Each structure stands twice: as C-alpha cells, then as structure tokens.
Amino acid sequence: MNDTSPHARDILVEIEAEVAHEMEEDRPIAGGTAYQTVGALVGIAVGIGGAVLAYGYGLGSLREPGPGLWPFVVSVLIAALSSILLVVGRNLTDSEAFTRSSVLPAIGIVTFVAFGLLMPLTGFEIPALVLCVVWLRFLGGESWRNTVVISVLTTAAFYFLFLYGLRIPLPHLIAF
C-alpha cells in the first residue's frame, strides 16, 4: 500500500524534474567517436608504458613479489580494458569533448611517471610525498592543511604496507 498523499507525490515529481534539468545544464559538451578512440589509445599507451617501467623494477614471483609486480598487473589491466574500449567504444555516446580540465589527467600521468623514474634514485618516500602534494593541492584543489596531512599519512601508510605488510623491497631512505 502506498501511503503517500497526492500532494507529496506532486512535490516529488517537481523535485525530480528540477534535478533532471540541473543535471542536463551541468552536463559537459559531448564528444564523438574520435574522443572515445583518443581516450582508449591514451589508456593503451599509459598501460604499456606503466608495464615497461614496472617490468624494469623486477616482477619477482607471487610468493616473493618484486617491487614491479603489482604495478605491472595494474598496467596490463589498464591496457587490456583500454583495448576493449577501443573496439567497443566506437558505438558509445557518453564521451566528453576535451576542455581545459582535460589536461589534468595528463599532468597526473606525467607526475606518476616521474614518481616511477625518481623512486630508484631517491627512494620511495620523497617521490610519494611529492606525488601526493601535486595531486591533492594542484590537481585536486585541496587546502594546504588537508594536503599536508593526507600526503604524510598516505605516504606513511603505503610505506608500512609495502615494506612491512607485503614485504616488497622498495628502495627507501628511511628504515625502521
């Protein structure tokens, strides 16, 4: 049994229509199949590049994983899913046109690659902290207070997770 009054249903219909209208206004400019294709090709390039970098760190085995094993697995997954998007995505209509904010993922990728290149030289801690700061403050627009707290805690959490929890021998400057 539906106990809602006709007045309550009218208000609900009115709110739903208003929300739908606002969402339509906020929707980004639609892209076409070319945008879908470019997005998939970028994903494939990122996946292959990440897999090559991760392989250079050494994969180890499942019983004794090397520092590159899980980044390699994730990179292969990104490349595989992007390949599927390249094939299937041509018929999809949910792509967005490139705007000024489209450069943010590219900056994220460049900083992540820099993290991967710096880690063998400077250890895990400094590049991880810098990566968090760049992503949170400059790409995400977080306040400095949130950026500092989250960056330090995230770096510490991953430090202990990889070095002590998973026993993955990452290059590091600080030893406990």
Q: What gap in Å lies between CA 67 and CA 47, rounded to an integer?
A: 17
Mean pLDDT of all residues in 155-170 = 86
The winner for highest mean pLDDT among 26-35, 41-50, 167-176 is: 41-50
pLDDT digits (tens, 9 = 90+) for 90-103: 777 777 777 777 78
Looking at residue 83, what is its pLDDT? Answer: 95
Other Cβ atoms less than 10 A from the Cβ of 2: the count is 5
The number of beta carbons lying within 10 Å of the beta carbon of residue 146 is: 12
> Averaging pLDDT over each range in 4-8, 104-108, 132-136, which range is the top one?
132-136
The pTM score is 0.54
Q: Is 90 exceeded by the pLDDT of residue 104?
A: no
* Residue 84 banded pLDDT, cuts 50, 70, 90: very high
